[in-house]
Amino acid sequence: MRKTNTEKLTSQSLISRRALLVGGVQAALVGVLGARMHYLQVQESDQFRFLAEENRIKVSLIPPARGEVFDRVGRSLAQNVPSYRITITRENAGDVEETLARLGKLISLDPNLLQEARSQLEKRRGDTQITIADKISWQELTRVAANAPALPGVEPQVALSRHYPLGADFTHVIGYVGPVSDYDLGRIENPDPLLTLPRFQIGKTGLEARQEEDLRGKAGTLRVEVNASGREVRELSRVEGNPGADIQLTVDHMLQNYCQARLGEESAAAVVIDCNTGDLLAIASSPAFDPNLFVNGISVSDYTGLIEDDHRPLVSKSVQGTYPPGSTFKMVTALAALEAGIVSAEDSFRCKGHLEVYSQKFGCWKRSGHGNVGLVRALRESCDVYFYELALETGIERISQMARRLGIGVRHDIPMSAVAQGLAPTKDWKRSVRGADWVIGDSVNASIGQGFVLASPLQLAVMTARLATGREVTPRLIKRLNGIEQPSGAGAPLGLNENHLRQIRRGMYEVVNHSSGTARASRILSKDKLMAGKTGTSQVISRRVKCDEVPWRQRDHALFVNYAPYDAPQIAVSVVVEHGCGGSTTAAPIARDITLQALYGDDPPLSEYPERDRGRIDSQQRKLRALRPPADGNTTGRGA
């Protein structure tokens, strides 16, 4: 059926409106697309140009600041200082050797470090940063940064490095840090990713190693956008980590410095402990060395010099060294006999210069003998025969039990390297370790601190503090950890008979203050600072020798222990001088000087010393003052 003209016009009008509608929609879509294209190509052109250049996101760790270490008054002992270095990442560097050649034209590269870096580049993952230049100057750092486009994969960095401002004074206490080695990574299960950062430092010895987890802190993360050449375009986000915990020690830096200086060139150790808190006020070992040498890797020549020194500067003698305690052990033997009820303070034995046991003679240091001696005189004049007799009656089991009760043969838990346990021997110990039965001669030797008995200077100081107070004084090295006070080492009462302790203390008092005491020459004159002590000389070889007749290594060790003041004990001191010959002549004067320095907090007046010694002491004080750090050092650190 044919449409009328009217129908045709209506149909054409409808088609036109639809065409216009479709056309309008199409035009709108084209407009939106055009606007979007303009936005992407013009306004966002920079962003998409970067994307076109294969920009990507790099996530890296932010090393935390290592916790710092302070002494008891807030003086900085271990701190962080800026250090500049250059690293390279293999997967971003392209031709590594060509990049290194370009870098070598800008700064001087250490051949040894470069060789180590090449080795690490082969062994480590391609995205690991490897240090190729360390401890460079600020000028060198900026030169590399300015030429970054020509050095793909190379990154100048500002890091923190450890520094020990007091040098050798705290070497054996704090220890030192060093770069993480393959050995370090090999002995740690699931190592912290921080340890793979270039030249990241961890504790190697001493407090730095023992408190590594606290001092290290937790890493932060950094997300940056980098372009195809590895150059950073912008920082996207940063999450800071947690710095390591600060540690405040119980040690006083001025007293520690004095102890180190007073020990001088001797191969020796000294420990000062607070009788009321157990705080270690000084813990010195001589000779020492500068720990800063180890922070970035010690040279072969420096290390060879340390290991070949016969005075063993690498060893912390105060806690690692164990020695026959000699006559300083006689208080242990006497107290064991008193507590067992085997002897009283009034009982005496006759010393003829030796004691014969089963046809074997055990000599006294005084060949002519002491005659009849009781407890106090036996301690005062260090009569060996008296203690031989006590050992025969008391037995090694009781003596060793008392030794452990007083802190000998016990590994004290302080955060230093290789703290020794010492040895308070028993019959079972000899049978299991030596494969032999205990004999009576072993007990006789042990009674005067010879034979199998071994003690460290730390243990001898603890023993003395316990005798002085009757409490289980426990050594404490950390005063505060991240501002939190650590438990006191005052200890509970030992449960020993106070009358027995009083007799032991009286004997120690007369060692120093009686006219026939073995350490009278080292007495203190002030009535309110009188000290009580005990000399000791322990044999190194099986026969008695004269110092000037044998080599240094065969000479006897010199020991002295003391506490002061006698009536109200504040500090206990132990001194061991390796191959120093005589406790009364070598160790006792050092211990007396350290005691006075600790009590006064500075050089004591010359009136404290016997008159004949004052000229020598005055000269000595002048010399030692020149070795002290500034008294007004940093006392406002975070540890204060």
Residue 639 lies inside a defined structural domain of this protein: no
269 and 193 inside one domain: no
Instruction: Find the helix or strand (DSSP H, E) in which 221 lies.
Output: strand 220-226
Token pair, residue 207, equals: 């407090």
Kindly report the three-state secondary structure assignment for every residue of 116-157. HHHHHHHHCCCCCEEEEEECCCHHHHHHHHHCHHHCCCEEEE
Instruction: Show Cβ contacts of residue 162 under 8 Å, excluding neighbours closer than 6 positions.
Output: 66, 78, 79, 80, 81, 176, 177, 201, 208, 295
**Tally of helices (H runs) and strands (E runs) in the chain:** 23, 21
Q: What is the pLDDT of residue 638?
A: 37
360 and 333 inside one domain: yes
Q: What are phi and psi of 541, to 5 degrees?
A: -115, 170
Q: For residue 65, what is the DSSP state?
A: P
Q: What is the pLDDT of residue 40?
A: 63
Closest CA to 258 of 525, 615, 610, 591: 591
345 and 305 inside one domain: yes
What is the separation of C-alpha 268 from the centre of its chain, rounded to a whole number of angstroms?
18
Separation of first and last alpha carbons in the chain: 109
Beta-bridge mates of residue 276: none
Calpha distance 15→23 (Å, rounded) = 12
Closest CA to 400 of 335, 326, 345: 335
Q: Taking all residues of the chain, what is their mean pLDDT, rounded to a whole number?
A: 89
**Any idea what the CATH number is for the domain that residue 197 is in?**
3.90.1310.10
pTM: 0.84
> Is residue 485 helix, strand or coil?
strand
Q: For residue 96, what is the DSSP state?
A: H
Q: What is the pLDDT of residue 43?
A: 64
Whole-angstrom CA distances from 111 to 47, 103, 104, 108, 154 are 42, 13, 11, 9, 18
Residue 41 lies inside a defined structural domain of this protein: no
Token pair, residue 260, equals: 């180190």
Token pair, residue 580, equals: 């120093």
Calpha distance 108→6 (Å, rounded) = 97
Classify residue 359 as exposed, middle or buried by CB count within 10 Å of its CB (0-12, 13-18, 19+). exposed
347 and 375 inside one domain: yes
> Is residue 241 helix, strand or coil?
coil
Picking from 230, 249, 268, the residue at the C-terminal end of a domain is 249
320 and 304 inside one domain: yes
Q: What is the pLDDT of residue 635?
A: 43
Q: How many domains does the chain have?
A: 2
pLDDT beneath 70: ranges in the chain: 1-20, 22-24, 39-55, 127, 226-233, 235, 631-640
Residue 12 lies inside a defined structural domain of this protein: no
Closest CA to 595 of 620, 567, 617, 572: 572
473 and 505 inside one domain: yes
Calpha distance 199→113 (Å, rounded) = 11
- Strand positions, DSSP E, 369-503: 371-373, 478-481, 484-485
Q: What is the pLDDT of residue 299?
A: 83
Residue 38 lies inside a defined structural domain of this protein: no
459 and 578 inside one domain: yes
Whether cis (ω within 30° of 0) applies to the bond prior to 287 is yes
Closest CA to 609 of 499, 524, 512: 524
263 and 224 inside one domain: no
- Active-site residue list: 327
Residue 275 lies inside a defined structural domain of this protein: yes
| Domain carrying residue 190 | 58-249
> Is residue 213 helix, strand or coil?
helix
Calpha distance 618→602 (Å, rounded) = 13
215 and 285 inside one domain: no
Q: What is the pLDDT of residue 522?
A: 96
Q: What is the pLDDT of residue 232?
A: 64
Calpha distance 462→279 (Å, rounded) = 11
Picking from 200, 220, 249, the residue at the C-terminal end of a domain is 249
Encoded amino acid at 45, one letter: S
Length of the chain counted residue by residue: 640
Whole-angstrom CA distances from 427 to 265, 531, 590 are 39, 36, 36
**Any idea what the CATH number is for the domain that residue 598 is in?**
3.40.710.10
CB 461 within 8 A of CB 573: yes
Q: What is the pLDDT of residue 48?
A: 56
Residue 36 lies inside a defined structural domain of this protein: no
133 and 272 inside one domain: no
Residue 540 lies inside a defined structural domain of this protein: yes
Residue 109 lies inside a defined structural domain of this protein: yes
482 and 470 inside one domain: yes
Q: What is the pLDDT of residue 623?
A: 92
Q: What are phi and psi of 134, to 5 degrees?
A: -130, 150
214 and 166 inside one domain: yes
Picking from 249, 274, 302, the residue at the C-terminal end of a domain is 249
